[in-house]
């Protein structure tokens, strides 16, 4: 497995070792000891799947308290995945990182607690998988505006399809400090 770091501390892109031949392929999507050796000491407690159509943007979501770390991947299709640093004490607070995830590249993206997360579907459909370090808690869930001009995220599709909640999400500067991470 190859591990790629980025400029935002804690974010990791993982490239599993894929074994393939004319019959198809095989790879390990999770192996606790190998992933711990890579720096992911998370205790995953919940797995989620979502199926979305082209142009859908889900996010940017986070939970606080009870923040979730996520190991995400795409089982079918392609997405533009984004994590935004919401850790107030971080030197990269308010900065974002994107990662192309697809069933072809088989990459995984680890987003530790303290980040908002979202993705935009680039293929006709995408089957998205999330391994989460904390249970979903509707009471703790919050959203960050996907098109916040202060973040200036370069989304590939400029007019995405959004849920009502995501369309009404606040800008980062309007989120109370207590709602963010230390």
List residues with catalytic annotation: 61, 130
Which value, to the nearest 10 degrees, does the dihedral of the CA atoms of residues 136, 10, 148, 77 take?
Answer: -70
CA distance 52 to 161: 10
Rounded Cα distance between 21 and 8, Å, is 36
* Residue found under tokens 């990791």: 12
Whether the Cβ atoms of residue 142 and residue 166 lie closer than 8 Å to each other: no
Grouping H, G, I as helix, E, B as strand and the rest as coil, residue 173 is helix
Q: Any idea what DSSP says for residue 170?
A: P
For residue 28, what are the contacts with CB-CB under 8 A and spacing of at least 6? 16, 17, 34
In which residue are the tokens 């198809």 written? 24
Torsion on CA atoms 166, 56, 110, 16, rounded to nearest 10: 170
């Amino acid at each position: 497995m190859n591990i790629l770091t980025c400029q935002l501390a804690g974010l990791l892109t993982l490239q599993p070792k894929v074994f393939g031949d004319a019959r198809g392929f095989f790879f390990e999507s999770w192996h606790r000891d190998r992933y711990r050796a890579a720096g992911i000491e998370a205790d995953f407690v919940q797995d989620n799947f979502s199926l979305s159509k082209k142009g859908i943007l889900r996010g940017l979501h986070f939970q606080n308290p009870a923040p979730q770390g996520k190991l995400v991947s795409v089982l079918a299709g392609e997405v533009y995945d984004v994590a935004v640093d919401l850790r107030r004490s971080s030197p990269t607070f308010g900065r974002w990182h994107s990662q192309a995830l697809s069933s072809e590249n088989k990459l995984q993206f680890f987003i530790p607690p303290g980040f908002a997360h979202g993705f935009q579907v680039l293929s006709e459909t995408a089957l998205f998988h999330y391994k989460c370090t904390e249970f979903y808690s509707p009471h703790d869930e919050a959203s960050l505006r996907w098109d916040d001009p202060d973040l200036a995220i370069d989304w590939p599709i400029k007019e995405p399809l959004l849920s009502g909640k995501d369309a009404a999400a606040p800008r980062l500067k309007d989120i109370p400090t207590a709602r963010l991470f230390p």
